[in-house]
Structure 1
Amino acid sequence: MKKPELLAPAGSLEKLKIAIDYGADAVYIGGSKLNLRAFADNFTNEQIKEGVEYAHSRGRKLYVTLNVFPHNGDLVGLEDYLKDIYSLGVDAVIVSDPSIIVTARDVVPNLEIHLSTQANNVNWRSAKFWHEQGVKRIVLARELSMVEIKDIREKLPEDCELEAFVHGSMCMSYSGRCLLSNYMTGRDSNRGACAQPCRYKYYLVEEKRPGEYFPIVEDEKGTYIMNSKDLCMIEHIPELMESGIYSFKIEGRMKSAYYVAAIVKSYRAAIDAYMADPENYQLKQVWVDNLLKVSHRSYHTGFYFNEPNKQVYDDSSYIRDFDIVGVVKSYDEATKIAVIEQKNRVFEGDKVEVLTPDRENYTIELMDMKDEKGAKIDVANKAGMIFTVTVDAPLKEKDMLIKGK
């Protein structure tokens, strides 16, 4: 069995490094042009270069998204941009529109091309068509069942890779193709500026009775008929491993560094455990717990198992039971003093959980808290402040400290 790739989102250079440190085989980012996250901390060419060097020095890969539906004006400068990112050493581009594919084939013929999920590929003939146009990998539409994916895999050439989302936010429209945001806010979801109006709370109002709001369902808070739960396939690693999907993709370029670390860590551990001993593989609750602690909507398995009515639900709220309170900058084993960068308020004496790449989470107590100048404090309550604590358990740089609310 070929070991699948674990592909993580990187909305910034910091998150790119965290994704790799916590076990991602590859990361996908947005550059300065033509990607569907206009409000992310998109990468400059200098940052792409640094990201490529960080990834390649650790044997990992970096992909750049150019997955908008471009208008004529968006094509201006495309050739130069493709040449620039190719010269930086990126491993592939993720695209959805034929105009970018043919341009890439013309100006950077050796640059690997992946077809974005925005292209809505739901059958083997269209996958074969794109592969014949020079596409190395098909990122499948999210609306496919496991049975359909296996059928697609069986009918494609072996060198045509399949990628599919296994975790993260879902969209109520077909593979993300939506006009609600354009219509309601003037922000084009298909060019990276979605305002997510599907997450708004809606009521029904009769034309001649303004101000009288009727819930569409029996719910005193309104209805959320266009909301989607979040995808989570951690409990179905065996099925994924046997499906023929090569790359397991995590959604979330707008998510936090804590989200990236926790999600990558759990899927990394699950994949490695299955590869080590498929016959005796067992899901560990600690992997699930990591996914439950990050900010998320209720989880479900999307379209993988043909389960009806699972995508829509009656609440749009995120579940936020844990916060990241600090990131370890350094640890002195002789003095047992850790230097921490504050992320959320934390008190001396608090018991916090340590999220670290190479071992199971464990709990420590924060003692002898001091500010950067060495003055005694009982709370770290300023964003980004540096403080120290005495901790018996050895910590490492970039370990994350998390705390239940």
Structure 2
Amino acid sequence: RKEREGRREGREGERSRASMMRWTVACIPRLSDADEDALEEGAGSKDSTAQATPQIRKIKPKKRIGSYEFTGQVLGAGATAAVYHARCVNTGREVAIKCLPACRGPFPKEVLALRQVASSGHPHICEFLEHRRSKGVDYIVLDYCSGGEVYQSIEDYGAMDEVTVRQWSYDMVSGLRFVHEAGVVHRDLKLENFLFSTKGARTIKLCDFGLSFVYPRIPDSNFMYPLLCAKCGTQSYTPPEMLAKYPEYEGFPVDIWALGVCIFSMCSGFFPVEEASEEDWRFCRLVAAQTEGVSSCMAIFGFYNQQCHFSPELIDLLDGMLQVEPSRRPTIQAIAKHGWFDCMALAANGDIRCTLLDTSFESEESMRTTHEDIINMMCSSDAAVSP
């Protein structure tokens, strides 16, 4: 009897294990044919990332998609997408085409944000042209900015003077203001995602809305603003509330912090809190400094035993943008009206006096150069209209 009971228990155990195996196999997501091919190509490779994201390795753009012909130049590649240079065969216009694995819906969520903000021809947002899908790949066609990344300029030349940074930041603020007023949070603001429109030109455009969130509209044409909980973005630009273990945060203040990091880095040549973690000691010191009324900029320079050389107006601006408490950060509308941008606002209205404003932090030599440039510009303008 004991032997029969033992055999019965053994058979029941085998059936139970077989049932568990069938359940486990059913729960494992199946790879598509493209994924299996990519895994076979990556077999034996030492690149673990390639095997972790087989779809990205498989994406190889066609020679042509619609009226756009690929030139073979790779403009950039990330964990989820690659960007290629292409040219319109009808007009000769250069474009950048972002290629990523096709999503389940009719178009990627990035296209929803792009249609909201990047199809109206705003001068400081990389223009969205069209979206196509072919053979499991989404193609997002964008305007081509040949001037390169702002980050690369800082890498090549180091920290910039405040006059230059003010001009660049004015473009950044203008683009982000349009994005926020359209009900979109970017969530990946960084110097790599601000591009110069052309080589030699200083017009800056915002790009890459892959991590953005579009707030839903309610019947009275306003937006609903739910708390967000996704951890995303680049760590050196990420605010402390997004680094929490279970984050719940408002969207717009996240962009304000990241934009403050961009402006600080362009002027100083380093990140205020590089590669930070949730319990980073620098955040603790920032909280203590802000509680005691000490300037955030002064505290950050103190982390690295350096002396802050920013102008009082810039310090006042960044002290607000780099507040650890999100509710204390200014809105993008308030930033656009800040005194540090006063001369840029005058320039937008065609007032030449803006070039002479707010130069107290510049050396006498740079001021003389500025005056000479203005005189030369006025003389050349007079010469152009004289008979």
Q: TM-score range by the shorter chain?
A: under 0.3
Instruction: Judging by fraction of residues, say which structure has more helix.
Output: 2
Which has the bigger relative contact order, CA under 8 A and spacing at least 6? 1
Larger Cα-atom Rg: 2
TM-score (norm 2): 0.28
